[in-house]
A and B are shown apart, each in its own frame.
Chain A
Amino acid sequence: MKSAVVQLPGLNRDRDMIAALTKISGKAPITVWQTETTIPDDVDLIVIPGGFSYGDYLRCGAIAARMPVMQAIKEKAEKGVKVLGVCNGFQILVEAGLLPGALMMNASLKFVCKEVKLEVVNAETDFTRAYEKGQVIRCPVAHHEGNYFVDAETLNSMNGNGQVVFRYAEGTNPNGAIEDIAGVVNARGNVLGMMPHPENLIEAAHGGSDGRGIFASALDVIAA
């Protein structure tokens, strides 16, 4: 299982993401710069990490979503390659049209940096098989624009298709997201976007490893 981490100016969680992927798969991911127009064929998982691409100018993720590498990622996603976007990565995926909805400013108007609880709503995706449906995990968040919004009709079909993968649980919704949505997949199920940072909760030194399951699932290294 080979993974790739996308790098764009202003992303700053790429090193954390590379460390998480390396520790969990035992193999360092390759890095892909924004101007690259192809991604190697043997890559099975593409990760867009968090940060502030292009300084969050215009809208978070808007400019990054229009860089050449995103076209390559779209083509890979259409072929079924797994794509994970965390935080700014999630914002980039919705701006690129790879995921439905939009991420708006937090209802509190404040940047939130804290730990939340997530309910695993769908444990049958490529990213959540390590968990059980309904399981509640801990996960850190750090964002200013994580307030997920989608129109009622799309939301309805997403709920029906199991596209809502994570919800903030136990009253921990930090941003006002509609129906407490923290993470969603596309209809095919191979593209996941989530605001929380699972890469920052993968080992004892982080104070827990609840986020590990997302990478273990996506990298196909779930312990028996």
Chain B
Amino acid sequence: MTVTLKNGVLDPQGKAIEGALGSLGFEGVHQARQGKVFDLELDTTDKAKAEADLKAMCEKLLANTVIENYTIAID
């Protein structure tokens, strides 16, 4: 799961990173956003159940949906 701040929510860390990349000479970098990645191993082999569980985990704990979005990837 990847959790990032929503668009429209100021991300001061993203801004600082964007500035630092610029000062290293990387041009044309915009909208840098810092987020979190959660890697989990699940016992289930049922993909639909895994997805539902991961969504519930994001909603209940891993993301603060007042300010953050999340995406889920399963493999």
Residue positions of A touching B, CB distance < 8 A: 58-59, 62, 66, 94-95, 100-102, 104-109, 147, 149-151, 176
Q: Number of contact residues on B: which range applies?
A: 10 to 19
Cβ-defined contact, A62 with B10, below 8 A:
no
Assuming A109-B12, A176-B10, what are 17 further A-B pairs, CB within 8 angstroms?
Answer: A58-B62, A62-B61, A66-B60, A94-B66, A95-B64, A100-B66, A101-B66, A102-B66, A104-B5, A104-B12, A104-B67, A105-B13, A107-B12, A109-B13, A147-B12, A149-B66, A151-B66
Q: What 1/0 flags go to B1-36 for Cβ under 8 Å of A?
A: 000010001101100100000000000000000000
Residues in chain A near residue B67, CB distance under 8 A: 102, 104, 149
Q: Which 10 A-B pairs have the closest CB atoms?
A: A102-B66, A102-B67, A107-B12, A109-B12, A102-B64, A59-B64, A105-B12, A149-B67, A109-B16, A149-B9
A59 vs B68: C-alpha distance when bound (angstroms):
11
Question: Interface majority SS on A: helix, strand, loop or mixed?
Answer: loop
A94 vs B64: C-alpha distance when bound (angstroms):
10
Question: Can you spell out 24 A-B residue pairs with CB atoms less than 8 angstroms apart?
Answer: A58-B61, A58-B62, A59-B64, A62-B64, A66-B61, A100-B66, A101-B66, A102-B66, A104-B9, A104-B10, A104-B12, A105-B13, A107-B10, A107-B12, A108-B12, A109-B12, A109-B13, A147-B12, A149-B9, A149-B10, A149-B66, A151-B66, A176-B10, A176-B12
**Would you give the shortest CB distance from B54 to chain A, in whole angstroms?**
16
Residues in chain A near residue B62, CB distance under 8 A: 58
A101 vs B67: C-alpha distance when bound (angstroms):
8
**Would you give the shortest CB distance from B13 to chain A, in whole angstroms?**
7
Residues in chain A near residue B12, CB distance under 8 A: 104-109, 147, 176
A83 vs B62: C-alpha distance when bound (angstroms):
25
Which of A59, A62, A100 has the largest number of chain B CB atoms within 10 A? A59
**Residue of A whose beta carbon sits closest to that of B65:** A102
Residues in chain A near residue B10, CB distance under 8 A: 104, 107, 149, 176
A150 vs B6: C-alpha distance when bound (angstroms):
12
**Residue of B whose beta carbon sits closest to that of A109:** B12
**Would you give the shortest CB distance from A175 to chain B, in whole angstroms?**
10
A106 vs B60: C-alpha distance when bound (angstroms):
24
**Residue of A whose beta carbon sits closest to that of B5:** A104
Which of B9, B13, B61, B66 has the largest number of chain A CB atoms within 10 A? B66
Residues in chain B near residue A100, CB distance under 8 A: 66
A100 vs B60: C-alpha distance when bound (angstroms):
16
**Would you give the shortest CB distance from A64 to chain B, in whole angstroms?**
12
Cβ-defined contact, B64 with A150, below 8 A:
no
Residues in chain B near residue A102, CB distance under 8 A: 64, 66-67
